[in-house]
Amino acid sequence: MARLFPAPPSTLTSALSRAAVHFPNRGVSVFDSRGRAHHRRSYPEVFAAAQQAAGCWVAGGVEPGDRVLVSLPTSWAFLDAWLGALLCGALPLAVAPGAALGAGASQIRKIEALVDRLDPRRVLVTAGFRRSAEAAEAARILAVATTPEEIAAQTSASSVLPTPEPSDIAFLQLTSGSTGHPRAVSIPHRAAVHNIMSSDQAIGAPQGSPAHEWAETMVAWLPLHHDMGLVGTLFQSIVGGLDLWLLPPGAFLARPRKWLEHLGQHGTAFAPAPNFGYQLCVERLDAASRVGLDLSNWRAAMTGAEMVRPETVAAFCEAFTPYGFRPEAIRPCYGMAEGTLALTFDIKGEGMRTRPLPQGADSSAGLNEIVCVGEPIADTEVHIVDAGGRPLADGEIGEVVVCGPSIFAGYFNDPEATAESLRDGRLWTGDLGFLHEGELYITGRLKDVLIVRGSNLMPHEIEWLAESVTGGGGALRTGAFSVARGAAGEEPVVVVEVNEREPEKLRAMGQEIRSNIGRTLSLPVADLVFVRRGRIPKTTSGKVQRRALRDQYLRGEIERLETTDEN
């Protein structure tokens, strides 16, 4: 199965031309939004289309270093635009195209916040979104908005495209879906290539050779605005010369069986997903709909981007082992956009391994058994430190701190946030965990971010939406956090201080808060709790202490005000 594998590329730009030259018989197949028909292009065709798109960007005035936002669903229009921006030396940034139901207005606010923060030359959106922006008179967006149809109508400039240095920034990635304070990480070419090559090595470790030597196919559905989608599936395939079968996320969410069907059909495969993807397969495919699947080709099933839940892995193995799935194919990993993608990988290939939560530890993820996420990728060190930055011994829980060549260059145009995360050349992850015999176990996190179905949400965003209903935000405060609810993963809880006591009025207010959060973020609130004024713990300067609030909630110490709400 071994193929002639050229030297690794030095940049993502050269990775594209390299794939066109060395892997002409491999390519990318992109499915339509319902996962029915697909359109395939070989790597030479992918490269040619990206060059054409790069010429269109140049003709439209895009210069090296300009930010180009691409807010489109998974499609060839997305790939051409993003890869074209990369080739012309601009900094492409993929932005989620908005939730499926409702959420039109919040998408406009989100893009506006990004335009303000990143000052992009162009924002590529669907014609439908632009009509909404026109109706909302969103002038700052309209000044830079363009659509795939307009780009295609542009005559491609035949200028010579730049050759970037490995140390140059290749692209930007968003770290959370926040409307208020978007943060975009700057990823140098060198970091991206290092991460992809290290992952290739780590994925293949149990087989004794890098993944590109034995894998033929990747079947993926992760959104391309997510690091695991962009780096872990698209670029992992381009660099490794794999045939990539790309389902839009919605096609998987609607019909998870499609992912598993294709994993069985196109040769030796590997594929990543967050925990909730595996959980969705277990929940949606009953015994009858599993019949006919053949998962024996699936050699590495990476699970990361959110807490790996032992019960999910166990349920998935139980459900799909009869259909050829190999439990040892489960490969927990850990990473984040600030590390390009993966920072650690389970390279033993023995299936999921767990350790009990150390005595006295507070697992903010609600787990007693902690999944091993493996050892650091090549050239990378992982340390566990206490609050004062001192290294801790094996088995002791502290903050996970990482250094290595895959670490990002900083947050774009946000020196304050950069200084907080990147200190002494090390990435302070904000995650909590412990080491055992050189392998990492994640137990929770220091940061207040909520991670729901693999996506990060900032708590203040939810709090604003609640406070805009109650008129709070001054004396009356709100605290949002997430709690683990069984195998489904984490769900948001919102605690709101009120002066109101009348149960019927509180019910109406609760309804409005749920509606505001639901319409804006497409997020159902798992629990909404009203408390008396002053009951939310705060620092002396008045900042909400979300972790303390969450601890109180988990211990059942919160005194709820009565409402007539059945929830």
Chain residues in the site for other proteins (CB under 8 A): 33-34, 73, 97-104, 107, 126, 128, 131-132, 249-251, 253-255, 276, 280, 284, 453, 511, 514-515, 517-519, 522-525
Smallest gap from residue 515 Cβ to other proteins (A): 5
| Paired tokens of 378 | 């090549």
| Paired tokens of 66 | 């300009």
| Paired tokens of 499 | 């002066």
Question: For residues 284 and 505, which CB has a smaller minimum distance to other proteins in the complex?
Answer: 284
Smallest gap from residue 33 Cβ to other proteins (A): 7
Question: For residues 302 and 517, which CB has a smaller minimum distance to other proteins in the complex?
Answer: 517
Smallest gap from residue 237 Cβ to other proteins (A): 24
Smallest gap from residue 484 Cβ to other proteins (A): 16
Question: For residues 347 and 508, which CB has a smaller minimum distance to other proteins in the complex?
Answer: 508
Residue 427: beta bridge partners?
Answer: 402, 422
Which residue has 């335009």 as its token pair?
115
Question: For residues 3 and 485, which CB has a smaller minimum distance to other proteins in the complex?
Answer: 485
Smallest gap from residue 523 Cβ to other proteins (A): 7
Residues, the chain:
567
Question: For residues 196 and 513, which CB has a smaller minimum distance to other proteins in the complex?
Answer: 513
Instruction: Answer positive or negative: Cα dihedral of 381, 385, 390, 396.
Output: negative
Q: Are 259 and 274 in contact (CB under 8 A)?
A: no
Q: Is 266 exposed, middle or buried (0-12, 13-18, 19+ CB in 10 A)?
A: middle
Question: For residues 163 and 515, which CB has a smaller minimum distance to other proteins in the complex?
Answer: 515
Smallest gap from residue 53 Cβ to other proteins (A): 22
Exposure of 351 in the CB half-sphere (CA atoms within 13 A): 11
Distance CA 117, CA 111 (A): 10
The residue among 440, 462, 441, 458 whose CA lies nearest residue 449 is 458
Which residue has 């650690």 as its token pair?
344
The residue among 123, 113, 116 whose CA lies nearest residue 91 is 123
In DSSP notation, 449-469 reads: -EEETTEEE-HHHHHHHHHHH
| CA distances (Å), origin 310, targets 14, 322, 366, 428, 442 | 40, 19, 12, 26, 13
Smallest gap from residue 35 Cβ to other proteins (A): 9
Smallest gap from residue 178 Cβ to other proteins (A): 17
Residue 455 CB coordination number (10 Å): 19
Distance CA 315, CA 44 (A): 41
Question: For residues 217 and 279, which CB has a smaller minimum distance to other proteins in the complex?
Answer: 279
Question: For residues 126 and 237, which CB has a smaller minimum distance to other proteins in the complex?
Answer: 126
Question: Angle at CA 514, nearest 5°, toward 512 and 518?
Answer: 115
Question: For residues 396 and 527, which CB has a smaller minimum distance to other proteins in the complex?
Answer: 527
Smallest gap from residue 42 Cβ to other proteins (A): 28
Question: For residues 51 and 107, which CB has a smaller minimum distance to other proteins in the complex?
Answer: 107
C-alpha torsion 497→501→507→509, nearest 10: -50
Residue 528 CB coordination number (10 Å): 22
Question: For residues 130 and 190, which CB has a smaller minimum distance to other proteins in the complex?
Answer: 130
The residue among 510, 494, 498, 507 whose CA lies nearest residue 564 is 507
Smallest gap from residue 236 Cβ to other proteins (A): 24
Smallest gap from residue 565 Cβ to other proteins (A): 11
